[in-house]
Amino acid sequence: MRVHCCHSSQSLLPRLPPPSPPPPSPPCSSDCPPGPEHGHKHRQHEHGHRHEHAETPVEADCCRWLNSVDDECVCDLLVYLPPFLSKPIHQYTVTVDSSCNVTFQCSSRLRV
């Protein structure tokens, strides 16, 4: 199921959990996964070897909700960001926890 929110996109914001600072990164050893530029999966809830913590029910709900939001909805909200963030074809990635990255693909919103 996809959530389409074009005209009421601001009403979805109160449902988002409050942001929290990212946990400190542990030193990387040879078994660390590659960085975000390698192996990034578009709009998937990734499960992998987790050593830091288990995903909480709140994080799982948030990840499920983010995966249900339509790209157009997010892009419509982000059009209010400064123009330098509206470059041609761009992505916004939301990281909920170490096992959930959701990427939204947006086309250019610049007006000439």
Distances (CA, A) of 28 to 35, 88, 105: 11, 34, 29
Q: What is the mean pLDDT of the segment spanning 77-87?
A: 74
Render pLDDT for 11-35 as a digit per residue (tens, 0 to 9): 444 454 555 555 555 554 455 444 4
Q: CA-to-CA distance for 13 and 77, rounded, in angstroms?
A: 10
In a domain, 21, yes or no: no
The one-character DSSP state at 43 is T
Question: Is a pLDDT exceeding 90 seen at residue 66?
Answer: yes
Q: What is the mean pLDDT of the segment spanning 45-66?
A: 75
The whole-model pTM stands at 0.50
Q: Which two tokens stand for residue 18?
A: 């409050």
In a domain, 46, yes or no: no
| Domain membership of residue 58 as a residue range | 54-112
In a domain, 106, yes or no: yes
Total domains in the chain come to 1
Question: Is a pLDDT exceeding 70 seen at residue 47?
Answer: no
